[in-house]
């Protein structure tokens, strides 16, 4: 017995940057393939010549790689079923149009957009679902020829079989049934010769050996058409699954404020890939455990049965939660790469590692690290309101003692604190809070021991002196 390997795919149209919605589709397909030790394929659906742009193709490859969603077949790496961009598959589509023509399963349609719009309006007015009235289905060859001779450019329509039920089991939504009579004959090649989405998409999935695919539920009504086409062409059909859409808090479409972000925007505002992965993997899919998981574990625990059918609500607080988790778990080198453009100038080379270790618990975005870099290394220290108040309340002798202890022990935390305790007779909060306030201008922040090793000695002395000076 041969078992078919699971092959999933992501088939974006490069008409814009990847946003949360379509990157979630990519992720779910990648997770499913990994879960089943299968393959994940990337296909560029660039048949819309006007709106597709090469820079969007480059951007989507880069964004997917940044997220760590590697594919085993695709436009950049090739594979057994090239080419992986639809704009390069015209000859393949021509072959399959011809097969349909030879078996009389398609016909040229000369109806103009205005005629089609009128017919649609009339049907709607009569309370019927609009579908193609079949006008051109009945033309004979001579009539077809006469129209071509007049210079009319026909579309190609598929003759949808009459009176059939189209049934399939959706990977996410369970059994589905459509009546072919509600579909009507549909266009599979545009008047300009370009393939219609349904056609190229279905043919490619079959030829590329895609076995399972997850896509947005806005494509659900395309599926019966695609199943009819594949049957007519004697091509294998994949298992289709349709994911509930991602919506805003008010259940409406995602607005910019509510998460309609491109992956690029999220990346440039400092989100880490693991934060997006952990968030998106739970948007319309539930995990048994709510802990942070690396990609391999997200895949291991991915299950079609756990896909939700209700719309998934975007929740920024959740995304921020996973961002914090990702920051706490990132490798130190990864964090430095992430922080470098924001704090590279301020943080001395020899302090990088210690800086990352010190600020990690206190940051969620590089901008938060800028705050600490300024407080640890900046020549001018701006005191927060409460630090200023605390320093004012503290006996100025405390800071002279601190200077003396610092002169004796430098930044070596425990001996320094023991000495300061001895000199001042205070302990606990009263000991370290004024010190923290004087050294960083803040009452909260990284551990004091780490702060001490980071603040350069001359700065530390100046700050202690300044704190001891009467205002
Ligand atoms: N190119 C289509 C889109 O981006 C693909 C739909 C599908 O996954 O089948 O919407």
Question: Per the domain annotation, does 79 fall within a domain?
Answer: no
Cα–Cα distance, 329 to 292 (Å, whole number): 9
Q: Is the pLDDT of residue 258 over 80?
A: no
For the chain, what is the mean pLDDT?
Answer: 95
Indicate the pTM of the whole model. 0.92
Question: Per the domain annotation, does 84 fall within a domain?
Answer: no
Residue 95 shares a structural domain with residue 238: yes
Domain count, the chain: 3
Q: Is the pLDDT of residue 470 over 80?
A: no
Residue 250 shares a structural domain with residue 348: no
Q: How far is the CA of 170 from the centre of ligand 1 (A)?
A: 16
Question: Per the domain annotation, does 218 fall within a domain?
Answer: yes
Percent above pLDDT 90 for the chain: 94
Q: Is the pLDDT of residue 23 over 70?
A: yes
Helix 352-359, helix 366-377: angle, nearest 10 = 120
410-to-23, 49, 359 alpha-carbon distances in Å: 51, 67, 21
**376 and 455 Cβ atoms separated by less than 8 Å:** yes
Residue 95 shares a structural domain with residue 234: yes
Q: How far is the CA of 48 from the centre of ligand 1 (A)?
A: 12
332-to-98, 320, 356 alpha-carbon distances in Å: 58, 20, 7
Cα–Cα distance, 465 to 442 (Å, whole number): 17
Domain boundary pick from 243, 264, 292: 243
Cα–Cα distance, 233 to 251 (Å, whole number): 40
**312 and 245 Cβ atoms separated by less than 8 Å:** yes
pLDDT confidence band for 129 (50 / 70 / 90): confident
Residue 290 shares a structural domain with residue 234: no
Mutate to test the pocket of ligand 1, among 15, 205, 215, 224 (most ligand atoms within 8 A of CB): 215
Question: Per the domain annotation, does 185 fall within a domain?
Answer: yes
Residue 230 shares a structural domain with residue 253: no
**316 and 294 Cβ atoms separated by less than 8 Å:** no
Question: Per the domain annotation, does 457 fall within a domain?
Answer: yes
Residue 136 shares a structural domain with residue 167: yes
Q: What pLDDT score was predicted for residue 2?
A: 53
Residue 129 shares a structural domain with residue 178: yes
Query: Is the shortest distance between the CB of 12 and ligand 1 below 6 Å?
Result: yes
H helices present in 109-189, as ranges: 113-125, 141-149, 180-183
254-to-102, 116, 117, 245, 314 alpha-carbon distances in Å: 46, 32, 30, 10, 8
**Among residues 378, 387, 462, which one has the least CA distance to residue 432?**
387
Cα–Cα distance, 414 to 449 (Å, whole number): 8
Residue 178 shares a structural domain with residue 263: no
Residue 375 shares a structural domain with residue 314: no
Query: Is the shortest distance between the CB of 421 and ligand 1 below 6 Å?
Result: no
Residue ranges making up the domain that contains 353: 339-468
């Amino acid at each position: 017995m041969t078992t078919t390997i699971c092959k999933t795919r992501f088939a974006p149209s490069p008409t814009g940057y990847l946003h949360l919605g379509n990157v979630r589709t990519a992720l779910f397909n990648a997770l499913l393939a990994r879960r089943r030790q299968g393959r994940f394929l990337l296909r560029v659906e660039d048949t819309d010549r006007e709106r597709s742009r090469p820079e969007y193709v480059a951007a989507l490859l880069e964004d997917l790689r940044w997220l760590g969603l590697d594919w085993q077949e695709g436009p950049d790496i090739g594979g057994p079923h090239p080419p992986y961009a639809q704009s390069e598959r015209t000859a393949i589509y021509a072959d399959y149009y011809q097969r349909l023509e030879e078996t009389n399963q398609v016909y040229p349609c000369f109806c103009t957009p205005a005629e089609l719009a009128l017919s649609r309006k009339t049907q709607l007015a009569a309370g019927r679902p609009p579908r193609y009235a079949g006008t051109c289905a009945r033309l004979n060859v001579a009539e077809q020829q006469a129209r071509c001779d007049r210079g009319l450019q026909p579309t190609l329509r598929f003759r949808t079989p009459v009176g059939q039920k189209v049934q399939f089991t959706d990977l996410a939504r369970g059994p589905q049934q459509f009546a072919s009579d509600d579909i009507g004959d549909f266009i599979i090649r545009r008047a300009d010769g370009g393939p219609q989405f349904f056609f190229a998409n279905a043919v490619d999935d079959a030829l590329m050996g895609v076995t399972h695919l997850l896509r947005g539920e806005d494509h659900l009504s395309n599926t019966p058409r695609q199943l009819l086409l594949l049957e007519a062409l004697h091509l294998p059909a994949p298992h289709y699954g349709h994911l509930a859409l991602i919506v805003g808090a008010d259940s409406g479409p995602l607005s910019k404020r509510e998460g309609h972000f491109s992956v690029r925007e999220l990346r440039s505002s400092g989100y880490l890939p693991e934060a997006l992965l952990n968030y998106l993997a739970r948007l319309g899919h539930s995990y048994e455990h709510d802990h942070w998981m690396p990609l391999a574990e997200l895949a291991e625990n991915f299950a079609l049965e756990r896909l939700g059918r209700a719309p998934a609500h975007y929740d920024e607080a959740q995304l921020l939660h996973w961002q914090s988790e990702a920051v706490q778990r990132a490798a130190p080198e990864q964090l430095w790469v992430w922080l470098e453009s924001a704090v590279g100038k301020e943080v001395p080379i020899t302090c990088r590692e210690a800086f990352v270790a010190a600020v990690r618990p206190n940051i969620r975005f590089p901008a938060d690290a800028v705050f600490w870099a300024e407080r640890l290394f900046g020549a001018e220290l701006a005191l927060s309101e409460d630090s200023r108040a605390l320093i004012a309340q503290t006996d100025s002798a405390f800071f002279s003692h601190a200077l003396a202890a610092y002169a004796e022990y430098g930044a070596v935390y425990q001996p320094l604190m023991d000495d300061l305790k001895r000199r001042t007779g205070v302990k606990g909060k009263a000991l370290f809070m004024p010190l923290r306030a004087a050294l960083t201008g803040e009452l909260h922040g990284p551990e004091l021991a780490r702060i001490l090793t980071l603040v350069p000695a001359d700065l530390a002395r100046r700050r202690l002196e300044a704190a001891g000076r009467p205002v």
